[in-house]
Amino acid sequence: MLFPFVKYQGTGNDFVIMDNRDKQFPIGNHEAVVQICHRNFGIGADGFILIEKDPKADFYMRYFNADGYEGSLCGNGSRCAIHYAKSLGLTNETLTFSAADGLHHAQCIGDSIALELHDVYSWEMRDEALFLNTGSPHHVVFVADINAVDVATQGPLIAHGAPYFSDGTNVNFVQVLDENTMAIRTYERGVEAETLSCGTGVTAAALAVHIMQKTEKTTLSFETRGGNLQVSFNPGDNVYESIVLQGPAAAVYTGNWELV
């Protein structure tokens, strides 16, 4: 059976996206998702996304990590899914969609997508790092030189070490460049490697920068390995509200994948 797909990238974080409104894709076939995401034996991607019907929103985004299993919210994947859904005529410039963590609002501004994330009410200091959840769990550690970090070695040690273990966490290394601009590198669980960009990771880092009083700004720019993202938010009394992640999403190519 042939499944049409579109390969997308959002600041270098890449995804294979399929229209699954007819419910034909076997979502329990983890091996199929692994093969699709494999860069040598498949299409190659950091994640896999299905666009499905949702009675309470314009569409539902079903997200899979490259390990074949459904994951938590993916910020860059959400922006790519929105761009694709708009090309299908499912959305307008202002829209709502559902994901693993519930309903989200978003706005299309040309090829840039502004995605609103849920309010964040809690965070936890862990040694000199900060742990918080922005739709996915994130460990944020600040470094003096982003280019000197051995992400491939340090990332998995933190991601699956105490107190995270088998559940794992995403790990973000952040360098403050100035009060408006940060550089970031992320080790993603599920991918089990450094990715060129992580949307929920950038969002977690933006809140962490403010929580740790490294800046008073509430609109921050982030330099990832794959491009630039912007995060804005409103800090309140033990809460961060109106959190918006904005950045580009672009289709790379289309094709058909055969399930055998």
pLDDT in tens, 175-212: 999 999 999 999 999 999 999 999 999 999 999 999 99
Distance CA 80, CA 90 (A): 14
Q: 200 is in which domain, residue-wise? A: 123-248
Per cent of the chain over pLDDT 90 is 96
131 in the same domain as 93: no
Domain assignment present for 170:
yes
231 in the same domain as 156: yes
Which amino acid is located at 54 in the chain?
A: D
As a whole number, mean pLDDT of residues 78-95 equals 97
So what's the pLDDT on residue 111?
A: 83
Question: Which pLDDT band, with edges at 50, 70 and 90, does 1 fall under?
Answer: confident
129 in the same domain as 96: no
Beta carbons of 172 and 186 less than 8 angstroms apart: yes
So what's the pLDDT on residue 166?
A: 87
Domain count, the chain: 2
As a whole number, mean pLDDT of residues 162-179 equals 95
Domain assignment present for 114:
no
Convert the pLDDT of each residue in 34-78 to its tens digit: 999 999 999 999 999 999 999 999 999 999 999 999 999 999 999
154 in the same domain as 83: no
Per cent of the chain over pLDDT 70 is 100
Q: How far apart are the first and last CA of the chain?
A: 7
Domain assignment present for 112:
no
243 in the same domain as 137: yes
Beta carbons of 229 and 197 less than 8 angstroms apart: yes
Burial class (CB in 10 A: 0-12, 13-18, 19+), 217: middle
Convert the pLDDT of each residue in 109-152 to its tens digit: 988 999 999 999 999 999 889 999 999 999 999 999 999 999 99
pLDDT surpasses 90 at 260? no
So what's the pLDDT on residue 225?
A: 97
Give the pTM: 0.95
So what's the pLDDT on residue 151?
A: 98
According to DSSP, residue 144 is labeled S
Catalytic residues: 74, 198
Distance CA 138, CA 171 (A): 6
174 in the same domain as 136: yes
237 in the same domain as 136: yes
CATH classification at residue 100: 3.10.310.10
